[in-house]
Each structure stands twice: as structure tokens, then as C-alpha cells.
Amino acid sequence: LPSPFRHGHRQPRAFLLRPTAGTFLGEYDGKSDLHVGITNSNGVVYNYNTEGVHRAETGWEQCISIPLVQPDMFGLLQQWDKLLEEFSVGEAWLPHRYEEHDHNCYTYALAFINSILTAQGKRPMSKSEFTEKFVIPQTKKASKYITLHQALTANDFYIVPLPEQEKQC
């Protein structure tokens, strides 16, 4: 069974999802808060919280990754980092504007995605639309994997990644 988790810092131009504390295969109980971010072309994770926008080079080693740019989108591939940085220094993402339910990491990530869609002349996506179309299919896979992982480890099985999976992570 292939792992649904990726090393986020090796996932350029992607939407990432991970537990706010701990890891999916460690402490995550299925009810704890999740945190999201967007990677630049070098795997630096831009994410927003009570302290403002962070540019993380570590901490996203086990996450769900949703690629955001198709390989044939040459203009966007070249401008991604500049657009992400310019977006991230906007006043909307100052620390004092953070609000846990209405102006949070998901708001930040989706607003950036929508800014890209709008610049391409496409319709922006609502939170529920993006979640249903892109996030839920990936989290369903992750949930099944976590459940299986917990059952195996609870029954004294040892889990090792296959060699080709180690390269993906």
C-alpha cells in the first residue's frame, strides 16, 4: 500500500496539509487541528499563523501534498516564487489579522490559489469547493492509511517503506 504522505520540502509549488502538532503517523488522532501551507519552487513552505507568514525550510517532512501547477504552465512556473512572496507580504497577512476560524492558514493558502486563478482569467474557488475537489480525496486516502498503520503497529507488526517509496518521501 503506497504511503499518501510526502516530504513537503521536496514538493515544489504545492498545497501541503499536516497536523498542527506531531505527525500523521505519530500522535495524530483524526480530530486534532491541521495546518496548511504553499511551497515555492524550492520547497520552502509559506504558511500563516498567529505570528504572521512563515517561510519554513523544515517541519513539513510528512504531509499530504496537492500539486498546484501543471508542468506545461511555463509562465506560472517561472513567476511562482515572485507571486508567492509578493502575496505573502500583503497587509492581510499581518499577525494581528489572524483569526482562528475566519482568517487562518487555510484562508491564506486559498486566497493565494485564487489570486493565481484570477490572474489566469479563471473563476476563484470557494473553500468548500477546493476542499471537496482537492483536499477530501487525499485525506480519505490518508485516513485509510493511518487506520491501517495504527492497527498494524498495535499488533506488533513492523512497517518499512519499499525502496521506491523511500525515494518519493
What confidence tens digit (pLDDT) does each residue in 82-136 have?
999 999 999 999 999 999 999 999 999 999 999 999 999 999 999 999 999 999 9
Model pTM score: 0.88
Of the CA atoms within 13 Å of residue 105, those in its CB half-sphere come to 21
- Residues 5 and 25: beta-carbon distance below 8 Å: yes
- Residues 41 and 77: beta-carbon distance below 8 Å: yes
Provide the total of helices (H) and of strands (E) in the chain, helices listed first: 5, 5
- Residues 16 and 38: beta-carbon distance below 8 Å: yes
pLDDT tens for each residue of 14-36: 999 999 998 998 888 888 899 99
Domains with residue ranges and CATH for the chain: 5-139 (3.90.1720)
Is residue 24 packed enough to be buried (19+ CB in 10 Å), middle (13-18) or exposed (0-12)?
A: buried
pLDDT at residue 164 is higher than 60: yes
